[in-house]
A and B are shown apart, each in its own frame.
Chain A
């Protein structure tokens, strides 16, 4: 059927640091007035969040990203999702993409769960007649009960996560990009989440998951990238890369990985 595909070639992403007053118009105008604008541009402090990243993914791939905090995993996910555009290199995405990055997922916390689901449906182009069914599916899967008609700000963090997850997976995206926060769900929810995710990945689509929970990576992923200081340090099967990352092989599967 479909052929979702991701190609990343020599991608680098730099973050300009505009902290404090360096972001202001004053500095820029002052610099321009004194003929230092070019120099200012050159000497602007940037964080090299990603450097020369290249890889390809196709239907059926489940990629795990591991690495220390600040290694560039979330930036890579945002780049894969088309949110950040690369400074150099090329990103090519084929297929519909869903990104699960922040827990709030671009939700408006003042709106009710139902209103957020409706907005999400409108954004992804769900037919208006199908939105009630989507509300039902999401509310039921997330187990929100009557909370669905209360503002999201009144939810517990677990409920927000469940709502976000249910919303993202209600749509059967071709490419799913996920950050580690969704692990926050309770053990029972993790089992359900795994069933739903596996159903989605079985539809020959792509998943990219960034997490520190190596057990989950080993049981869900077919390939792992170790990102270190914005570069790919290792690329290979989960067992190989996890062993290299930890410095020793991951112990035999724990009895209840979902409890991680």
Chain B
């Protein structure tokens, strides 16, 4: 028997419990989140012949052309540079799109939120899964580039897994945090978009960390670098430094804390902000 109880004067403990319950119930509905995420992609490409493989194609074309251009600009051997760019660009694409779409995690589901009571966490999972599905299509580009230049990350590759797991938790946290914040304040989304634009240039995505020379020790101060490097380094055949891992964990813990505080406060109010 489902029993729901809401009070106007809920204690902090009750609010925390309800937020936790939302997450637990949301996880139980993962199949729904999976279907919604997948339908989002199908809808985006409904009626097109290539469907989501447009993502593969357009990413491939972009990396191919940027790779040739930048290797000439930076005077780096294409053979050396292109596999790096393919990996970085695909991973960055995932991070940047996820952060951007996290802003719409709840507002996009306005109709559902106002029509039925549903754990808000479902929408966070949906947004994350949608981007994972996109990533699955763009990963093909990395594989193709690696095959063409016959490079392989070797035995380091499985070391990316802990990083990928951390990414999933970070992704859910950012959806809850930005989803709620952007539902309340509608001008956060453009701010986030411009921050991501700046972050793209400040993070070694198209340029290599080594190019910083003596200033490379500054890199872990950039949260995007730390988070990205824990997955990228193993796939490039190296290990991220302990400092990088430590930085990634610290940034993630801060993100989880902020996201939890926001969600506990906003959970019962999101329906009013739609």
Contact = CB atoms under 8 A, between A and B. Distances in A.
Nearest to B5: A92
Given A111-B43, A119-B32, 17 more contacts: A12-B8, A23-B185, A82-B117, A83-B117, A88-B9, A89-B7, A91-B4, A91-B7, A92-B4, A96-B2, A97-B117, A102-B115, A105-B116, A106-B114, A122-B29, A123-B32, A125-B29
B209 to A, nearest CB: 34
Contact of A93 (B2, B191, B271): B2
A95 B114 contact: no
Interface string A22-35: 01111010000000
Which 4 residue pairs spanning A and B have beta carbons closest together? A106-B115, A88-B8, A85-B268, A106-B112
A198 interface: no
Contacts of A106: 111-112, 114-116
A2 B114 contact: no
B233 to A, nearest CB: 37
A110 B116 CA distance: 19
A128 B29 CA distance: 13
Interface of B: 1-9, 29, 31-32, 35-36, 39, 43, 46, 111-118, 184-188, 191, 268-269, 271-273
A122 B31 contact: yes
Interface of A: 2, 11-12, 15-16, 18, 23-26, 28, 78, 81-99, 101-102, 104-108, 110-111, 115, 118-119, 122-123, 125, 128
A55 B68 CA distance: 72
Contacts of A111: 39, 43
Contacts of B191: 25
Given A15-B272, A84-B271, A94 B1 contact: yes
A122 B35 contact: yes
A38 to B, nearest CB: 17
Contacts of A85: 6, 268-269, 271
A2 B1 contact: yes
A142 B222 CA distance: 56
Nearest to A81: B117
Contacts of B46: 110
Contact of B188 (A12, A25, A82, A125): A25
A28 B191 CA distance: 15
Contact of A119 (B7, B36, B113): B36
B185 A28 contact: yes
B273 A123 contact: no
Contacts of A105: 115-116
Contact of B273 (A18, A81, A90): A18
B28 to A, nearest CB: 8
Contacts of B114: 78, 83, 101-102, 106
B185 A93 contact: no
B3 A25 contact: no
Residue of A16, A94, A102, A122 with most partner-chain B CB within 10 A: A122
Contacts of A93: 2-5
A133 B1 CA distance: 24
